[in-house]
Amino acid sequence: MKFIDQSLLQKLTQLRHNLKDIPELSGKEFKTRALLIKFLKQNTNLEIHDLGTWFYAIQRVNSSRGAIVFRADHDAILHPDGYPFHGCGHDGHSTILAGLALLLQKEKLEQSIIFLFQPSEENGQGAKQCLKLFDLENVERIYGLHNFPGFELGHIITRVGTFMCASLGLTVRFTGHQTHAATPEKGTNPAFAISQLTQMLEPLSYFNGFESFKWKDLTFSSMVLATVVSIQVGQANHFGISPSNGSLQLTLRAEKQQDLSKLLTKIKETSLQLAKQYNLTLQFEVNDEFVETTNPESLTHHVNTIFSNDGLHIHELVEPFRPSEDFGYYQLEKPGVFFGIGSGLQTPPLHSHDYVFPDEIIPYGIRAFYSIVMN
């Protein structure tokens, strides 16, 4: 794509490689943030506002209209071997946003443009922190993107309605009384409560499409999933002990937030019944909470028209992506569209050990954002 001159593209590619070399997990993006701020200071005249854990840059225009925000994330994930790496392509997302900032320096704009560099997307905390932006600046709309392997390189992926699903991580902790393994009747072992709860949820561990369905006494409007991610009871190789502690960890997922809430309530009610049945105490913990990312119809059609008129190829999804994205928190506050960009049919899946963001899609991402600004 000859949208960006070769020298600028080389500079951005080097930035992406530099980011790849300093991957940092959610909440620990210190070097990453410093590198991005330094790059923008050296290559633009933007106002830069460092809020400590996140920052934004703004190309300010004297206009009564609100600003348009473009957002990119920059946290890394954990490799199977135990070290951080950019297995979701956030190094590429930040490079695309930085590239947009450089490209717009020469343009005469009709409204302010904000470049939002967000941490902590992977654990669902970053967007919640960055919502403060809407108090600090007059914002009209917000846009974001994510790369997706398995789609043609550079193709734009869109969908009206739910684009990515809601989800949360739930830990259910049961506590009983430890005793000798020879006299289990003298204690209360949480294994059986956890076993029953796990078996109850088995039908929800299989994907059966996005149709409405019934389960137990509930009716869901679309897909829900309950994925078991961890079961722990007692300690391995302690054969003389009937344990007192146990936990079940689940990832709950749904196309719609109301279905996710309904499922969470049902699991809590059942857990309370099992705790009472087996004389156990009970605790719940919720982590990594994401609302669904939902694109409004009129604004999405408007953006699709812009992309088409600018010669970008569009792939309209029939069904949502099942993973989650915390961009949905912005959409609860302001109109916004989140879209994908194809990172190639042969690129390894996101979060896989051998994934690397393909530099070839950097100009396509910049082109998509640039088209929105100029139209």
What is the mean pLDDT of the segment spanning 323-341?
99
CA dist 194 to 18, 83, 141, 236, 303, Å? Answer: 46, 31, 45, 17, 48
Work out the average pLDDT over 123-134. 98
371 phi, psi to nearest 5 deg: -60, -40
Say yes or no to pLDDT of 2 above 90. Answer: no
The b-or-e profile of 123-152 (16+ CB within 10 A means b, else e) is bbbbbebbeebeeebebebbbbbbbbbebe
For every residue of the chain, which 3-state class applies, written as one string?
CCCCCHHHHHHHHHHHHHHHCCCCECCCCHHHHHHHHHHHHHHCCCEEEECCCCEEEEECCCCCCCEEEEEEECCEEECCCCCEECCCCHHHHHHHHHHHHHHHHHCCCCCCEEEEEECCCCCCCHHHHHCCHHHHCCEEEEEEEEEECCCCCCCEEECCEEEECEEEEEEEEEECECEECCCHHHCECCHHHHHHHHHHHHHHHCCCCCCCEEECCEEECCCEEEEEEEEEECCCCCCCEECCEEEEEEEEEECCHHHHHHHHHHHHHHHHHHHHHCCCEEEEEEEEEECCEEECHHHHHHHHHHHHHCCCCEEECCCCECCCCCCHHHHCCCCEEEEEEECCCCCCCCCCCCCCCCHHHHHHHHHHHHHHHHC
Q: Which residue has the tokens 């000798």?
A: 180
> Is-contact 125 289, C-beta < 8 A?
no
Asked if residue 119 lies in contact with residue 53, where contact means CB atoms within 8 angstroms, the answer is: yes
CATH class of residue range 166-290? alpha beta
Distance CA(6)–CA(263), nearest Å, equals 52
The answer on pLDDT for 306 being more than 80 is yes
pLDDT band at 51 (very low <50, low <70, confident <90, very high): very high
Q: Band of the pLDDT at 185, cuts 50, 70, 90? A: very high
How far apart (Å, rounded) are the C-alpha atoms in residues 246 and 192?
A: 10
Question: Among 341, 327, 357, 293, which Cα is nearest to 90's?
Answer: 357
Mean pLDDT, residues 336-360 taken together: 98
pLDDT of 84 above 90: yes
pLDDT at 160: 99
C-alpha–C-alpha distance, residues 252 and 260, integer Å = 7
**Domain map of the chain by residue range?**
6-164+292-374, 166-290
Q: What is the mean pLDDT of residues 99-126?
A: 97
What pLDDT score does 46 carry? 98
Q: What percent of the chain has pLDDT over 70?
A: 99
Residue found by looking up tokens 């994908």 in the block = 340
| Chain-centre distance for alpha carbon 289 | 10
Query: Given this model, what pLDDT does residue 3 score?
Result: 74
- Dmax over CA atoms of the chain, in Å, equals 80
Mean pLDDT of the region 95-122: 97
158 in Cβ contact with 301 (< 8 Å): no
pLDDT tens for each residue of 27-46: 999 999 999 999 999 999 99
Region 131-138 average pLDDT: 98
334 — pLDDT class (breaks 50, 70, 90): very high
Q: Mean pLDDT throughout 217-245?
A: 98
Report how far apart, in Å, the C-alpha atoms of 339 and of each of 29, 68, 139, 196, 219 are: 24, 16, 19, 40, 30
- Identify the architecture of domain 6-164+292-374 in CATH: 3-Layer(aba) Sandwich (3.40)
pLDDT above 90 coverage of the chain, percent: 99
55-79 pLDDT per residue, tens: 999 999 999 999 999 999 999 999 9
| Mean pLDDT of all residues belonging to the chain | 98
pLDDT at 170 exceeding the cut of 80? yes
Residues 6+ apart with CB under 8 A from 98: 12, 15, 36, 39, 40, 115
Per-residue pLDDT at 1 exceeds 60? no
- Looking at residues 315-341, what average pLDDT do you find? 98
